[in-house]
Chain A
Amino acid sequence: MDELDFLGNTLLQLLSGVPLTIELTVGSVAIGAVLALLLTLLRAGSRIGALFVSAFVFVFRGTPLLLQIFLIYYGLGQFAAIRASVFWPFLREPWCCAILSLALNTAAYESEILRGGFASVPAGAIEAGRACGMSRLLLLRRIILPLAIRQALPAYGNELIAMVKATSLASLITLMEVTGIAYAIISQTYRAIEVFLCAGIIYLALNFALTRGVAAMEAWLGPSVRRA
């Protein structure tokens, strides 16, 4: 009975970290998506832009996320210029540093996903839109974006799931999200297996909901292009 009580209590305590986990995910994914769209446009814009974007993607995809978080949280404060800048009130907050590094990291992956989505839009669908008199904006809104997003969605879903799990790294810069709380409980109780299992269940539940959401959106956007 004690065992069940402990598990129940642990789960309840861990649940109090869920809002922060969701905050970190939603914040970084939202900023990351905007950055990714900008990166994709920049890549298409000019040769120098494309070079910059490849370098960005290379660095942020090629180094561990934990390293990026540490560099931003511990590293930036070493520069006097940054400590003196208007950004310092934000950059000394672990919450801001976590979201910034998660967003930069996911932007690198998402820009690649988006590029694949745009490349998959059939030329004929675009031409049919032009032929019936669509403006550039209408073509983008009604034909290109829905098709690109629909095609990118499965890969994007993967990235979202990876981001939910990546937020656990924020615990290493003092944030008390689900994993951070789990560490704290373990250091008091030394019951690592039970606590981490409970944490695992919470991540599973979050990702289950996420997966269903992505599947619903896929259905809403219509069948995939490949079937056409």
Chain B
Amino acid sequence: MTEPVIVASGLHKRFGANEVLRGVSLTAQQGEVVAIIGASGSGKSTLLRCIPLLEVPDEGEIVIGGEALAMVERRGRRVPADARQLGRMRSTLGFVFQSFNLWPHRTVLGNVIEAPVHVQGRPRAECVAEAEALLAKVGLADKRDAWPAELSGGQQQRAAIARALAMRPRALLFDEPTSALDPELVGEVLQVIHALADEGRTMLIVTHEMGFAAEVASRAIFLDAGVIAEEGPSRQIFAAPETERCRAFVRRHMERHGRR
């Protein structure tokens, strides 16, 4: 059996007195699309942010492509131990934020080639050609020279997806990619993510879009109060959950989705 792309095991994360993650483990195999669902405050965004150490878990291990991320205790706080390793590992993961987080002082093209050129040190011409292809893929070929502020939310998020793809990542991590969007713009972003899933990319998606998650995910994880309350193939989680909490959550969200 091949090495899983991402393995997180026994993650704990506290913010002050609030323990957001209480021992969560997760594995993503090559080509797997894992949906992470759960109520607000259940810890799903924190879980996702722990993987590239945007939050450093208080306990637990993270292994990406077979290599464990080094962490060390310093003055009572756990911090990344090896900045170089961290940079290298982060550049193999594409992270897509809820609020896009494009760099406002660079054009769309500038945003997409920034990391390949300056972090990965690849030749600029090659990166530009690849960026143009990626922008065409997310439907933004004509926006390459636009500033982020000139784009709609949906366009910004698609540009952010192109930026994540430009690093040729092993896996894509989506943190509620459509939660900051106007309802009429959600579809265009989901369509792009759907196309990526069809390509067989490894993806972790934190989302409230249950209908979409059911359609695109091969596996789903239901987080409740910092622990995994239920996980399994997505047809089980979304169609016939075993636990009452998960059933209630999915039903509530499917209804809301239907009404929209």
Interface residues of A (CB under 8 A from B): 122, 124-125, 127-136, 138, 142-143, 146-147, 150, 221-223, 225, 227-228
B57 near A: Cβ within 8 Å?
A: no
B119 touches A132 (CB 8 A): yes
Q: Give the docked Cα–Cα distance between A130 and B149 (Å).
A: 21
B204 near A: Cβ within 8 Å?
A: no
Q: Give the docked Cα–Cα distance between A142 and B114 (Å).
A: 9
Chain A neighbourhood of B115, CB < 8 A:
132-134
B212 near A: Cβ within 8 Å?
A: no
Q: How far is the CB of A36 from chain B (nearest CB, A)?
A: 21
Q: Which of B52, B87, B149 contacts A223 (CB 8 A)?
A: B149
Q: Give the docked Cα–Cα distance between A221 and B103 (Å).
A: 12
**Could you list some 30 contacts between A and B, CB below 8 A?**
A124-B99, A124-B100, A125-B103, A127-B101, A128-B95, A128-B101, A128-B103, A129-B103, A130-B54, A131-B54, A131-B90, A132-B114, A132-B167, A133-B87, A133-B88, A133-B89, A134-B87, A134-B119, A135-B87, A136-B83, A138-B118, A222-B104, A222-B106, A223-B104, A223-B105, A223-B147, A225-B104, A227-B104, A227-B147, A228-B149
Which residue, of B99, B102, B105, has the highest number of chain A Cβ atoms within 10 A? B105
Q: How far is the CB of B169 from chain A (nearest CB, A)?
A: 9
Chain B neighbourhood of A127, CB < 8 A:
54, 97, 101
Chain B interface bracket (under 10, 10 to 19, 20 to 34, 35 or more):
20 to 34
7 other contacts beyond A131-B93, A133-B90, A223-B105, with CB at 8 A cut-off? Answer: A127-B54, A128-B95, A131-B54, A132-B167, A133-B86, A134-B115, A146-B105
Residue of A nearest to B53 (CB): A130
A132 touches B105 (CB 8 A): no
B91 touches A133 (CB 8 A): yes
Q: Give the docked Cα–Cα distance between A150 and B115 (Å).
A: 21
B90 touches A124 (CB 8 A): no
Chain A neighbourhood of B119, CB < 8 A:
132-134, 138
Chain B neighbourhood of A132, CB < 8 A:
90-91, 95, 114-115, 119, 163-164, 167
B118 touches A125 (CB 8 A): no
B177 near A: Cβ within 8 Å?
A: no
Chain B neighbourhood of A147, CB < 8 A:
103-105
B154 near A: Cβ within 8 Å?
A: no
Q: Give the docked Cα–Cα distance between A222 and B84 (Å).
A: 30
Chain A neighbourhood of B106, CB < 8 A:
222
Chain B neighbourhood of A124, CB < 8 A:
97, 99-101
Chain A neighbourhood of B105, CB < 8 A:
146-147, 150, 221-223, 225
Chain B neighbourhood of A225, CB < 8 A:
104-105
B226 near A: Cβ within 8 Å?
A: no
Q: Give the docked Cα–Cα distance between A130 and B106 (Å).
A: 16
Nearest 4 pairs of A and B residues by beta carbon: A133-B91, A228-B104, A124-B101, A133-B90
Q: How far is the CB of A181 from chain B (nearest CB, A)?
A: 43
B90 touches A128 (CB 8 A): no
Q: Give the docked Cα–Cα distance between A228 and B148 (Å).
A: 7
Q: Give the docked Cα–Cα distance between A31 and B118 (Å).
A: 31
A222 touches B147 (CB 8 A): yes
A-facing residues in B36-58 (Cβ within 8 Å)? 52, 54
